[in-house]
């Protein structure tokens, strides 16, 4: 906004405490608050997923913002449209605990005691203890210097 500072009015009955902000390639701000997900475009504050409990947020190399929710599935935000991924798309449950967009472009999701899922662009494939994981509760993901998945 040309170097100016602007204060937005709170959305809803309580002022939303902000947890995370992401700026997409188009200059939109995506705001994770205690009351859900909002988008700031220009001077407009737009509620996108109000009253959704958010567990994880990750951006990928294509400008998508991936939101893991507490029971409402995995949401993909673009400038438009918003897409929600659930068990019907191959996730083991609707409680993604962590989301990681790796440098190679792959998207990985750690699920609440449901294993580790990778997105192929259409659906998720999930790995669990029968595939070699020592525990199917995956709550944190990270990528090492050499591209290894932790």
We report the CATH number of the domain holding residue 78 as 2.40.10.500
Residue 90: inside a domain: yes
- What pLDDT, on a 0 to 100 scale, did the predictor assign at position 47? 84
User: For residue 103, what are the domain limits?
Assistant: 52-131
Residue 8: inside a domain: no
141 close to 108: Cβ distance less than 8 angstroms: yes
Residues of the chain with pLDDT under 70: 1-16, 79-81
Residue 107: inside a domain: yes
Residue of 93, 2, 73 whose CA lies nearest to 43: 2
Residue 63: inside a domain: yes
pTM exceeds 0.95 = no
DSSP letters, 32-71, are EETTEEEEEETTEEEEEEETPPEEEEEE-TTS-EEEEESS
Residue 97's SS3 state is strand
């Amino acid at each position: 906004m040309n170097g100016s500072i602007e204060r937005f009015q709170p959305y809803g009955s309580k002022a939303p405490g902000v947890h995370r902000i992401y700026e997409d390639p188009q200059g939109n701000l995506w705001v994770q608050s205690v009351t859900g997900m909002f988008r700031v475009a220009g001077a407009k504050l737009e509620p996108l997923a109000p009253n959704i409990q958010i567990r994880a947020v990750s951006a990928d190399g294509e400008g998508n913002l991936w939101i893991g929710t507490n029971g409402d599935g995995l949401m993909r935000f673009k400038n438009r449209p918003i897409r929600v991924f659930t068990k019907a798309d191959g996730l083991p449950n609707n409680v993604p605990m962590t989301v990681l967009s790796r440098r190679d472009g792959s998207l990985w999701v750690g699920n609440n005691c449901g294993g580790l899922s990778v997105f192929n662009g259409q659906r998720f494939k999930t790995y669990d203890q029968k595939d070699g994981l020592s525990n199917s509760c995956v709550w944190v993901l990270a990528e090492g210097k050499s591209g290894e998945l932790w």
